[in-house]
Amino acid sequence: MLSLKDLNPQQREAVTTTSGPVLLLAGAGSGKTRVIIYRIAYLIERMKVAPKHILAVTFTNKAANEMQERLREMLESTVKGLQVSTFHSLCVKILRKHIHHLEYRSNFTIYDASDQLSVIKGIIDDNGYQDTGLIDAKSAHFAIGQAKTWGKTPEDFLIQKHSMRDVLIGRVFREYQETLKGCNAIDFDDILNLTLELMKNYSEVRHELSELYRYIMVDEYQDTNRAQYELLRYLTQTHRNLCVVGDDDQSIYGWRGADIRNILDFEKDYAEAQIIKLEQNYRSTQTILTAANHVIENNDNRMVKTLWSDKRGGEQLGWIVGADEMEEMGKVTDQIRLQVMRSALQYRDHAILFRSNFQSRVIEEALRDGSVPYVVVGSTSFYDRKEVKDAIAYLRVVFNTRDEVNLHRIINYPKRGIGKTSLIHANMYCNQFHKPLFSILEKASEYSKISSEAARSMEYFAHTIRRYKLRFQNERMDQVFVDLLDEVGFIRELEKEKTDAKTKERRITCVLELLRSVQQYVSKNPDKTLKDYLERIMLFSKEDPKDEEANNAVTLLTLHSAKGLEFPYVFMVGMAEGVFPNKRALDEGGESEERRLCYVGITRAQKGLTFSMAKSRKRYSETLPQEPSRFLTEIDQNLFSKPVEGQLSERQKQANAQQARSQFFAQIKQMRGE
């Protein structure tokens, strides 16, 4: 029997308000998943709604499966027919039944990324577009995906007077769509867009689905894009029974198409909507929540809510400052080790959150040096990133020319005219004469099947490697590495990649971070050689820890990856202006989303929260002084165990002024004998 006794008053209201549009403003840690499950159970058990008429939409298959499992455990009655799925799973189901209206067959194929790239490459090759130097398959694939996310068509590229590159992308886009349709195939982005096309143009489909799904619930509504928003409008046109659950303060995915207007404008779109705020937090202490509230209330365009907890007080916020990033992370590592040694804590009780992927290098090295186990979640470990592995491959080949795995990795990267056919012939000669590949490269012109152009490139490449091998033995390792990457055009190759600006910047930043790590290594270990450095790097390439070890490890993850997770003790590192908030995001007008990201990070902590920063940071060859993040100075300094050094926020200035006035008047009263 369903009981609502364990719910707080606002949660009960959310569960029992079943008619018409409802917006549940669910703050971090407020038990929203529980509310959704209870609401579905209430509809089935108390309202006697047939499960088939209920639709619940989540953003991951894992969340959908967990929700269904919990409902099966809660309800004695069957939940057969209940639809709990992601938007894409729902739309595939709709398309299988109705896509014939769009002149596709119901047994359509969904192309994955490699299939899509293959089609696009064929179109570019067939039309000779690669000769223009303006597009390649990867860049066109990315541009088409972005266009579909924002609801653009090939004509949007073609009818406007865009650049020649945009025109070419429009042509590829148009032929790509025609090719897919001819193959009775769709891609991931088409799943939403074609469903939306069905809903717009075929009233019978729209009516059938609206009658079927009479009660619709959507989790993480702040993360929906415009296509998902429009789809929901069509599905609820007749009954308007739409319950959306979300938190505008946790909208952090604008860069991948999420539209915060969907939740901010909900009252405009549904004038009769009831808004219920879930503000009681069951995760964090009041100290942590007060800090989160102080940060987020500085965003203007938001729906006002204030998180609170019955876990009064709590540990004060920690504050760590290092002279540079290595010292910063050394102090963070020491504190984690100390907490594990002194308290009944495990390493797994701790998480380190950071803004950008390149930061993980310093974090990983500090933890390794401190013998602290860790796992990287939601992103690639720094030393496993492709651009980093490519750069290190040059060092490995210089040190050992017989390392043919890494030799194959770099022999034509950056491109130097050594194609697959030439490599096949070179490897054939290796087998024929029982020689290592590098020996063949050194005298490639002596082998008849290798073209003269490829042979020249091979010999020059081998000569370059030999020359740098000598330099590494006699000169400073960090400077020689810089010269090597510069001579082969490594950074220039990354700059030429036809990908989005953020990806390009991230890859270049990671390579520069690698160069900086070599510089730091040489500065601390002037007598060490290339062999010593490569042995150190090997530590970061060893096999993952066994499950029992991984279960007790510090979690490393970006702030974006942390959403939806929680940890007893959280360390938010790199809390300096330009790092977080990220300078690029600020330049693009994204301060509000950066502040929401900070809010998400703070609210991951259950018991303890520590911020850290470095007073200076190396940027290329320059050492830059750093100031604390503006987000830190927005927090009442009394919440910290020690004050944050830097510019005080207006809030703190006012609080300090009020305190000074109070002390002044207290002294006056004392002098008067009052």
- Catalytic residues, by residue number, are 32-33, 219-220, 250, 604
Q: Are 321 and 613 in contact (CB under 8 A)?
A: yes
Q: At what angle do helices 477-488 and 386-399 cross, to 10 degrees?
A: 110
Contact at 8 Å (CB) between 328 and 322? yes
Whole-angstrom distance, CA of residue 176 vs CA of residue 315: 57
- Using CA atoms, how far apart are residues 526 and 405, in angstroms rounded to an integer? 29
105 burial (CB, 10 Å; 0-12 / 13-18 / 19+) is exposed
Full strand arrangement of the beta sheet holding 22-26: 83-86, 54-58, 215-218, 242-246, 22-26, 274-278
Under a CB-based contact definition with an 8 Å cutoff, are residues 611 and 320 in contact?
A: yes
Place of tokens 């987020």: 296
Question: How many Cα neighbours within 13 Å face the side chain of 586?
Answer: 10
Query: Helices 591-602 and 286-296 sit at what angle, rounded to 10 degrees?
Result: 180
Residue type, 195: T
Instruction: Please give the distance of CA 656 from its chain centroid, rounded to a whole number.
Output: 38
Q: Which has the closest alpha carbon to 451: 424, 480, 422? A: 422
What is the length of the chain?
A: 674
CB neighbours (10 Å) of residue 383?
Answer: 20
How far is CA 466 from its chain centroid? 40
Q: Which two tokens stand for residue 167?
A: 């025109």
3-state helix/strand/coil string of 10-68: HHHHHHHCCCCCEEEEECCCCCHHHHHHHHHHHHHHCCCCCHHHEEEEECCHHHHHHHH
Using CA atoms, how far apart are residues 155 and 161, in angstroms rounded to an integer?
11
Where does 281-326 show beta strands of DSSP type E?
318-322
What is the token pair recorded at 276? 């219920």
Which residues contact residue 325 at a Cβ distance below 8 angstroms, ignoring those fewer than 6 apart? Answer: 359, 362, 574, 614, 617
Tokens standing for residue 263: 């939740």
262 conformational bin, left if phi > 0, alpha if psi -120 to 50, beta if neither: alpha
Give the burial class of 526: count Cβ atoms within 10 A of its Cβ; 0-12 exposed, 13-18 middle, 19 or more buried.
exposed
